[in-house]
Amino acid sequence: MNTVSENAPLKDQALLSIRSLSKSIDGKEILKNVHFEVPPGRVIGFLGRNGAGKTTTIKAALGFTDYSGDIEVMGQDPKTSRHRVMESVSFISDVGVLPRWLRVDQALEFMTAVHPHFQVEQ
């Protein structure tokens, strides 16, 4: 898979590009030919019923699961450059990994401490 040139301006590079993403689990088709891009500065959310493929899409984008198709996260292929991808993104799953008593300001402080590129202002 081709990656975006190191010299390409970030403003022109999609933060997330997914093309022809497909995934089956135990013979059940979870994702079929999914395409979308997230441009810089955009915030997105995944909405859908249980089993629709929201978490599977995120896991594929982070390199946590096998898939067919092409994914780039800031020009990096999560299959071959997962470490570089994870240095640049932050992900908190729907699994209760943070204590319920944690306030928003404490969660932001936590993210600042564990993710070197996390900026509260953004």
Would you write out the chain's pLDDT as a tens digit for each of its 122 residues? Answer: 444 444 444 567 899 999 999 999 999 999 999 999 999 888 788 888 888 999 999 999 999 999 999 999 999 999 999 989 888 887 766 665 677 788 888 888 887 887 777 777 76
The number of C-alpha atoms within 13 Å of 43 and in the hemisphere containing its C-beta is 2
Distances (CA, A) of 52 to 32, 57, 112: 11, 10, 32
Q: How many domains does the chain have?
A: 2
Position 107 scores a pLDDT of 82
20 and 77 inside one domain? yes
Looking at the fold, whether 40 and 61 belong to one and the same domain comes out as yes
- What does the pLDDT read at residue 115? 72
43 with 77, same domain?
A: yes
Cα distances (Å, whole numbers) of residue 101 to 75, 104, 106, 110, 118: 37, 10, 10, 13, 22
Helix, coil or strand: residue 22 = strand
Quick one: pLDDT at residue 59? 93
pLDDT of res. 95 = 60
Whether residues 104 and 47 fall in one domain: no
Residue 25 lies in a domain: yes
* Residues of the domain holding 116: 96-122
Nearest to 108 by CA among 116, 96, 99, 120: 120
pTM confidence score: 0.68
Q: What's residue 4's pLDDT?
A: 44
* In-domain check, residue 3: no
